[in-house]
Amino acid sequence: MHFFKTEKKRFGTTETAARNNGDRIISKPSPITRRLTITALYLSVWTLLSGSVTSFTIREYTFNKKNYVSLYDIATKTGINQTFDVISQRGKLYHKHHSAVFQAGYAAYLIDGRVYLSDYPVIRKNGEIFIPSLFFREMCSAFFPEFEIRLANNHYSLKTKTITEDPVPFLTPDSPPKEKIAFIFIDPGHGGRDPGAIGGKIREKDLTLKLSRKIRDYLKKNLKGVQILMTRDKDHFIELGKRTEMANRKLKKGTNGLFVSVHVNASISSRSNGHETYYLSQNPTNEESRATASLENNVVVLESKKHKPYQDVEYVEALMLTTQIQKESALLADNIQGRMKKNLRETRSRGVKKADFFVLRGALMPAVLVEAGYITNSKERKLLTQKDFQDRVAKSVGDGVIDFIKEYNK
């Protein structure tokens, strides 16, 4: 086969091509963009296809009426490279400068740093990994933009795009259907062998559990139709990475979640005071933010030594921060901090900040970390143990979440 002819490259519907020849063509699926912008794409790019053209045929499997493609087939037949880590159950597929990251048991996956969701997760079966067909098609659209993915007789293949019309300005549909916020995970910081910060005789892990339960109860009462969950509802130890994993596992197509980690702060200076809300960034707001993050990250020394997930390059890559999630996290932090500022007037608002918290790193949804006050400041420690103040912290966080959802759903 020679591909030395010039092809018009156009994104959009493939209906014309489908009508012209009998094959069923899978149209390029629209990514879950979580974006409100309507992007006008005017694509009249002339691409010269030459020499090394990928082409393959690969089987589609069906288990329990769900369609999959085998990772083994992808590795052996498509020219797409892959790695899979048996400990983390996380895999990566890459081709040229494109990459896709997934994890067994998850319906959420990343393609070129953007979150996509399937209706059902990646599975392990008979010692093999199977990825949802939708994931495979979306990945092929990203990896091989100059091809169409076709499904015929239970086999996928790539064909060069054959578009005869003149290129036309093409509008992406009004923002793709927005995922609904279907669940909220409240994460009481620390627990079990990790007491968190200690001030006087008060332990952070007890305060965070108490506050989190109140936030849960407040949201259950005031936010109907959304599932409110906790990463722990008793005093036990959970590794940082596991916390967002619990939340990510709940993601599937058409839904989104929120992750709120609840903490109280500590400082070597007993004068440090106030409440603040963080979102994840590799660039901390200031030295104090960096110190707070490293204090909260300290718990990794208590975690299992089987693997070092936080230092692992693959891991960090797998959890690449996507700009959209970061923007939404900042908005969630704004809403929560705004309510705390209004309702916790006897303490100071330190504002919204960013820092590299390991507990937020893995989240594939808007995620924030609330520091409700300083356990090392005697005035705030006393407030944090009082029912009235705790109730107002819970109401503030709860109302901030509700404010965010209203804005998000607009």
For Zn ion, the closer of residues 373 and 400 by Cβ is 373
Give CA angle at 60 (148, 137), nearest 5°: 35
* Piece of 212-220, 273-281, 296-304, 336-344 that binds Zn ion (CB under 5 A): 296-304
**47 strand-pairing partners:** 7
For Zn ion, the closer of residues 263 and 381 by Cβ is 263
Asked if 236 contacts 191 with a C-beta cutoff of 8 angstroms, the reply is: yes
For residue 233, give the 3-state DSSP assignment: coil
Q: Whole-number minimum distance, CB 102 to Zn ion, in Å?
A: 30
Sequence letter at residue 238: I
* Piece of 41-49, 232-240, 258-266, 310-318 that binds Zn ion (CB under 5 A): 258-266
- Rounded to whole angstroms, the Cα distance separating 335 from 398 reads 10
For Zn ion, the closer of residues 191 and 196 by Cβ is 196
Give CA angle at 327 (120, 186), nearest 5°: 60
Q: Whole-number minimum distance, CB 400 to Zn ion, in Å?
A: 19
196 touches Zn ion by CB under 5 A: yes
For Zn ion, the closer of residues 161 and 275 by Cβ is 275
Phi/psi region, residue 113 (left: phi>0; alpha: psi -120 to 50; beta: rest), is left
Alpha-helix residue ranges (DSSP H) falling in 88-239: 133-143, 204-222
Q: Whole-number minimum distance, CB 396 to Zn ion, in Å?
A: 18
For Zn ion, the closer of residues 296 and 399 by Cβ is 296
For Zn ion, the closer of residues 245 and 296 by Cβ is 296
Residues 367-406 that bind Zn ion (CB under 5 A): none
263 touches Zn ion by CB under 5 A: yes
**What is the four-CA torsion angle of 202, 203, 206, 210, rounded to 10 degrees?**
60
CB neighbour list of residue 85: distance below 8 Å, 6 or more residues apart: 91, 314
For Zn ion, the closer of residues 298 and 323 by Cβ is 298
Given candidates 138, 194, 245, 296, which one binds Zn ion under the rule CB under 5 A?
296
205 touches Zn ion by CB under 5 A: no
* Piece of 32-40, 115-123, 184-192, 239-247 that binds Zn ion (CB under 5 A): 184-192
* Piece of 6-14, 212-220, 250-258, 289-297 that binds Zn ion (CB under 5 A): 289-297
* Piece of 20-28, 54-62, 187-195, 279-287 that binds Zn ion (CB under 5 A): 187-195
- Total residues at the site for Zn ion (CB under 5 A)? 4
CB neighbour list of residue 10: distance below 8 Å, 6 or more residues apart: 43, 44, 161, 163, 167, 170
For Zn ion, the closer of residues 91 and 189 by Cβ is 189
Q: Whole-number minimum distance, CB 321 to Zn ion, in Å?
A: 21
Q: Whole-number minimum distance, CB 340 to Zn ion, in Å?
A: 16
Q: Whole-number minimum distance, CB 187 to Zn ion, in Å?
A: 10
189 touches Zn ion by CB under 5 A: yes
- Residue with the CB atom nearest Zn ion in the bound state: 263
Burial class (CB in 10 A: 0-12, 13-18, 19+), 361: buried
* Piece of 288-296, 353-361, 386-394, 399-407 that binds Zn ion (CB under 5 A): 288-296
121 touches Zn ion by CB under 5 A: no
Contacts by 393-396, CB closer than 8 A, 24 or more apart: 393/211, 393/214, 393/215, 393/275, 393/340, 393/344, 394/211, 394/214, 394/215, 394/217, 394/218, 395/218, 395/339, 395/343, 396/336, 396/339, 396/340, 396/342, 396/343, 396/344
Residues near Zn ion, by CB under 5 A: 189, 196, 263, 296
